[in-house]
Structure 1
Amino acid sequence: MTRQTPIEVGQLYFELFHRIRRLVDHEMSEAGLSLSRTKVLGVLAEQGPVKQAAVATCLGFAPRSVTDTLDALEREGLATRSPDPRDRRAWLVEITPAGAVALERAVAVKKKAMTTIFGGLNRAEREQLATLLAGISARLDSHLEAAHDK
């Protein structure tokens, strides 16, 4: 086995991540919802009626960045907006019954795709991969916190 540099391993991970994301997004889009729309509907399902800015915060985006997705979900009857009774400048966004059905279908498609992708790994391999990814994530969090404190 050849020794891989951190850059080479990072590149392999990056390429694999993008391939997985494209595959899962394609499968989900074929079923009616993209990955990003599913994420937004998931937040709406969990949070109940919520301000658009809160949806963006939950996803780690700027508020303006979810506007197009929310507009599309509203056009398709999967989400609704209504005035916030406590803040006349704000709108509350909520999942509709049709949105809940679409979300359920999309989540099932996502689970099937993930099972196809990672189902070939045995339990020990999945646990090892999960441990490695959690460790990378923790180191990244520490790095970001240190950079933020500067």
Structure 2
Amino acid sequence: MNCDDQLIQGLARVYLHLQRRVNRELAQEGGSLARLKLLLFVQKREGAARAADIADMFDLAPRTVTEGLDALERDGLIVRTADPDDRRVKRIAVTPAGEGVIAASQPLRAQLLAETFAVLTAEERAQLSALLGKLAASLDEG
């Protein structure tokens, strides 16, 4: 196996491990990583999120996104409003209840990340962050 294969397998293994662990911990508190990821994405977009943006970001079928958003809206965690420039488009924003769910998950997310990265020194974490940022920037350009 060449070095590039080892890198991608290592990245995938770390990502999947983190994803499974966060999902397991959130499930114990009645939440899910899928719902949290949607909320965090919408929050980041500050009310400008559209279902098409979510489908594109997470490489999901539009119907899957619609079902997820329907559940979040039913639970009062998001609100959809008409786009002032295009009546066919709905803008999505996180409600105060949704902000509460995000805030409640923060200590758990911080704890899991701290535990995961505890094996790295501060310098190694900074290097890893810089390298991942460089990779992400090159992928964004391509």
Task: Look up the match of 2:108.
Answer: 109
Any stretches of 5+ residues in structure 1 without a counterpart? 146-150
Flag structure 2 segments of 5+ consecutive residues without an equivalent: none
Question: Which structure exhibits the higher relative contact order, with contacts defined as CA atoms closer than 8 Å and separated by 6 or more residues?
Answer: 1
**Partner residue of 1:118?**
117
Distance 1:76 1:135, change over 3 A: same
- The equivalent residue for 1:37 is 35
TM-score when normalising by structure 1: 0.71
Distance 1:82 1:116, change over 3 A: same
Which whole-Å deviations, capped at 9, do the CAs of 1:102-150 have from their partners, x for residues lacking one? 11112332122111111232212212322333344455456xx2xxxxx
**Pair 1:100 & 2:99 matched:** yes
CA distance in structure 2 between the aligned counterparts of 1:137 and 1:118, rounded to whole angstroms: 19
Which of 9, 15, 18 in structure 2 is aligned with 1:17?
15
RMSD over aligned CA atoms reads 2.9
With over 3 angstroms needed to count, the CA separation of the structure-2 counterparts of 1:128 and 1:84, relative to structure 1, is closer
Aligned to 1:134: 133
Q: Aligned pair count?
A: 140
- What is the CA–CA distance in structure 1 between the aligned matches of 2:73 and 2:96, rounded to whole Å? 12
Q: Residue 121 of structure 1: SS of its match in structure 2?
A: coil
Percent identical: 31
Please report the TM-score for the alignment, with normalisation by the length of structure 2: 0.74
Q: Which residue of 1 aligns with 2:52?
A: 53
Q: Which one has a bigger Cα radius of gyration?
A: 1
Q: Do the aligned residues in 1 keep the contact of 2:47 with 2:91 (CA within 8 Å)?
A: no
